[in-house]
Amino acid sequence: MEKIATFNVNGIRARLAPLLAWLDGEPGIQILALQEIKAREEDFPFPFFEERGFTVSCQGEKSFNGVAIISRIPPDDLVRGLPGREHLGARFIAARFANLWILNSYVPQGRSAADPMFTEKLRFIEAIGDYIQSRHQPGDALIWLGDINVAPHDIDVYDPVKLKGQVGFHPEEQAALGEVMDKCRLYDLFRTKNPRARQFSFWDYRAPNGFKRDLGWRIDHFLVSKPVLEHCTACWIAKDLRGEDKPSDHVPVLASFSGSF
- Shortest Å distance, C-beta 14 to DNA: 3
Cα 132 from Cα 19, distance rounded (Å): 30
Catalytic residue, chosen from 24, 76, 77, 106, is 106
- Shortest Å distance, C-beta 142 to DNA: 25
Q: Identify which of residues 39 and 189 has a Cβ nearer to DNA in the complex.
A: 39
Burial 228-254 (b: 16+ CB within 10 A, else e): bbebbeebebbeebeeeeebbbbbbbb
Is 140 labeled as catalytic in the residue annotation?
Answer: no
**Residue 41 C-alpha from the chain's centroid:** 19
The SS3 assignment for 249 reads coil
Cα 54 from Cα 6, distance rounded (Å): 15
Q: How many residues bind DNA (CB under 7 A)?
A: 22
Is 106 labeled as catalytic in the residue annotation?
Answer: yes
Q: Does 10 bind DNA (CB under 7 A)?
A: yes
Burial class of 195 by CB neighbour count within 10 A (0 to 12, 13 to 18, 19+): exposed
Q: Which of 116, 195, 208, 243 binds DNA (CB under 7 A)?
A: 208
**Residue 119 C-alpha from the chain's centroid:** 20
Which region among 47-55, 180-188, 190-198, 206-214 touches DNA (by CB under 7 A)? Answer: 206-214
Cα 104 from Cα 95, distance rounded (Å): 8
Q: Does 60 bind DNA (CB under 7 A)?
A: no
Site string for DNA, 104-133 (x = CB under 7 A): ----xx-x-----x----------------
Q: Does 62 bind DNA (CB under 7 A)?
A: yes
Q: Does 81 bind DNA (CB under 7 A)?
A: no
Catalytic positions are 106, 147
